[in-house]
Chains A and B, each alone.
Chain A
Amino acid sequence: MSLNRPLGQCIRHTRHERLLHVPYRTFATTTEPPSTPEASPPPTPPSSDATPTHRYNPNLVHTPRMEKKLLAAQNQYPIGSRRRRAALATSTNIPFSQLPYQCFQEARKVLRHDRTEKVKEIEGMRQRITRLEARAGEGVESEAERKQREHRLRGMRKRLDDWKILADVNDPLVKKKFEDGMGDMNKPIYRHLSDLQWRSYKRRVLMQRITQMNVVPDVLQSIDPTYSTEIRFSDFHKVPHGEFVHSLFSEKPPVLTIQPYNQGERLVTISIVNPDVPNVGRDAFDYRCHFLACNVKVSPTNTTIDLAKLDPETQILQEWLPPHVQKGLPYQRHAIFTLEQDPATLNTVSASSAGTLDLSAMKTHEPKWAERDNFILRSFVDKLRLKPVGVDLFRAKFDDGTSEVMQRAGVMGGDVEFRRKRVEPLPYQRLKGSRFR
């Protein structure tokens, strides 16, 4: 990659080789290496990492064709987003402070000034909140006054969170870091941006699948997901919402990625419920719980949960049961629900610490939650005062691996086939007379 490319070259058109030969004006500053700490240097600068043994640079490859070649020749995956790689390959990576555009620099000044104002506001709001909180213990306070104070505090905290996001939301560096996937989820701005990104498309797809496949009235009455969920079987097989999963893939428990977008660590309960279990005697469908685990710690940075590696003593109520759909049956939905445990109200189940469910006590006093068949998630959520925050879905149908999976899991009925029950036709009504013959 040549270093003497025009600075503002359109990234979309980099594949036009003729662009390289267009005469342009260079600045003296363009050749300087990035020295200021303001712009974080790329992990591997384009000039240094092109070793002769490796023909394709995973940091700079930015066309689909070259990406394929990189994978084929060096067995490497490209690093970062394609936008980032294209930018690294085609620009000189000058820090923002040294870019020779006057208007850009003026805009940065405006943004910097705006940010200092916002930071001042945040400081002021923090002090006001602490003052109002400190007033709680002073003197006698009526119920109405207490409620009013709490209402005010809620509003102030909300405004404080808004200021925190507004302080950084226009920063070009923040935008760049977020798009490169380098955002720190401990910071409110990156949580806000990733939440926006999730809600813009993926959550809509999820809600469509959940409503179209009737998970919402069949398993729970309603849900407003605020956590995003992702399923992976066998570490690499990522499952889109509502996709069919082959029974051999789903024999081992999946790895979930549960991403909350609000601050702090919390405990969640994860349940996987199948509402399509056939019941021939009743001529209806039953529920079955395929997995149930409580007290799973989740935070914006701690998101990956391997269901196989949870603690059987303190976390798992029901072990993983592989999905199995007998021959002839329609597909079965497996809904994954993330339920937030309430730290305040869970002491009723003899909790050892705030918000933690005591599983051994539950197993002795409430044995029905440890039973798979007829597991009603609605009553489970109501009894334990859980809050549904995340949902995901995958489907299973009969395939060539089902019977062996059932055999290995010790489930009876691998040799059972379901067939449609014949509905007697209505009796043919003979018309009067022979005029219709």
Chain B
Amino acid sequence: MALSHLHRSPRVPSIAALSALESALSSFRISPQADLPSNRRHASHQAQGRANGPKDTAGKRLGSKKADGQYVVPGNILFKQRGTLWYPGDGCFMGRDHTIHAAVPGYVKFYRDPIPHPKRKFIGVVFERANVLPQPHNAVRRRRLGMLAYQMPATTASTTGDLSTFTPSSPLPQSDDAAVVATIIREQPQEERLTKTIKTKRDGRWVETTLTRRPGYQWRTANWEIGMAAERSRAAQSVKAFKPGDRFAAWRKRNARIARNAEMRAMKRGGKKQGGGKGKK
């Protein structure tokens, strides 16, 4: 400030004048000069807190759960891993967290398949212990049907949960008796056993409600059905479905909105005429 007061004519002080002032004032300086390289080194590594200490978290129990040649059934976990150390081969699938599961009953095989994937390791399941993986790439895939044939009941309406009415398919030529004996098939499908339909009177009319068995033998409406209630309501039914590209409907709606807005504006003005200097625009 004083400097500009002394040299009145130029607005900005010259560099020479500034440097002279700097050298004169340097002996009074308390703090070190800003542009000098300092000898302080800043931390490039976190030294406090959780950074370097705890490495003793609980083990995640990763790794192989079945050995080569071991018998597995569908759904068995073969390998738990982070990322894809192993890939699912024949008769296997990979779960959400890269866990390898068995998809078919059989024997576990660990193998490589260098023709399509030279760097990958695979886990597969074969039906016979002697089978080898990988299969030749032009050979027919080994597959199992894993199903049994049953005679469908003549009319679906008369189906009940009675065991006596349901007979496994002895008259069918294809069915294998040994296989039928060895397996236990539920007499009713899962969804039939776990749902009930009841009729209730609501708003003076009969309404069918489907009840689902929840844990603890409570029969109640499923959560997803409760969620659908708003869409099934009369109010929702009365709304016209939105049709994309229906310009006439859009035009009508727009005109109605403009008219409504005009009416609202007129109400706000309280019947006064527009065009006064005070009014908002």
Chain A residues packing against B (C-beta within 8 Å): 214, 216-218, 221-222, 278-285, 326-329, 413, 415-426
Contacts and interface: CB of A to CB of B under 8 A. Distances in A.
The 7 closest A-B pairs by CB, nearest first: A221-B138, A418-B147, A280-B174, A422-B183, A415-B152, A417-B152, A423-B105
A279 B174 CA distance: 7
B141 A421 contact: no
Q: Which of B143, B148, B169 has the most CB of A within 10 A?
A: B148
B176 A416 contact: no
Chain A at the B interface: mostly helix, strand, loop or mixed?
A: loop
30 contacts: A214-B141, A217-B137, A217-B139, A218-B140, A221-B138, A221-B139, A278-B145, A278-B149, A279-B145, A280-B145, A280-B148, A281-B174, A284-B145, A327-B152, A415-B152, A416-B149, A416-B151, A416-B152, A416-B169, A417-B149, A418-B150, A419-B150, A420-B147, A421-B147, A421-B148, A421-B183, A423-B146, A425-B73, A426-B72, A426-B76
B228 interface: no
Contacts of B143: 284-285
A425 B74 CA distance: 9
Contacts of A327: 152
A281 B105 CA distance: 17
Interface string B127-143: 00000000001111101
A222 B138 contact: yes
Contacts, number: 87
Nearest to A285: B143
A419 B152 contact: no
Interface string B155-179: 0000000000000010010111001
Contacts of B149: 278, 280, 326, 413, 416-418
Interface of B: 71-74, 76, 105, 137-141, 143-152, 154, 169, 172, 174-176, 179, 183-185
B147 A329 contact: yes
A420 B71 CA distance: 20
A413 B169 CA distance: 12
Contacts of A218: 140-141
Given A417-B150, A417-B152, A422-B185, A285 B73 contact: no
A426 B151 contact: no
Contacts of A279: 145, 174
A75 to B, nearest CB: 21
Nearest to B189: A419
A281 B180 CA distance: 11
A155 B152 CA distance: 65
Contacts of A278: 145, 147, 149, 174
Contacts of B175: 280-281
B148 A418 contact: yes
Contacts of A285: 143, 145
Contacts of B150: 416-419
A280 B147 contact: yes
Contacts of B145: 278-280, 282-285
Nearest to B137: A217
A381 to B, nearest CB: 13
A217 B151 contact: no
Given A217-B140, A222-B138, A424-B73, A283 B185 contact: no
Nearest to A329: B147
Contacts of A328: 147
Nearest to B73: A423
Contacts of A326: 149
B101 to A, nearest CB: 13
A222 B179 CA distance: 36
Given A217-B137, A415-B151, A421-B147, 17 more contacts: A216-B138, A217-B139, A221-B138, A221-B139, A280-B149, A281-B175, A283-B145, A283-B146, A283-B176, A284-B143, A327-B152, A416-B149, A416-B172, A417-B151, A418-B148, A420-B147, A426-B71
A326 B150 CA distance: 11
B141 A217 contact: yes
Nearest to B172: A416
A422 B76 CA distance: 15
Q: Which of A214, A283, A285, A413 has the most CB of B within 10 A?
A: A283
A108 to B, nearest CB: 45
B146 A420 contact: yes
A424 B181 CA distance: 13
B136 to A, nearest CB: 9
A279 B144 CA distance: 9
B141 A280 contact: no
A412 to B, nearest CB: 9
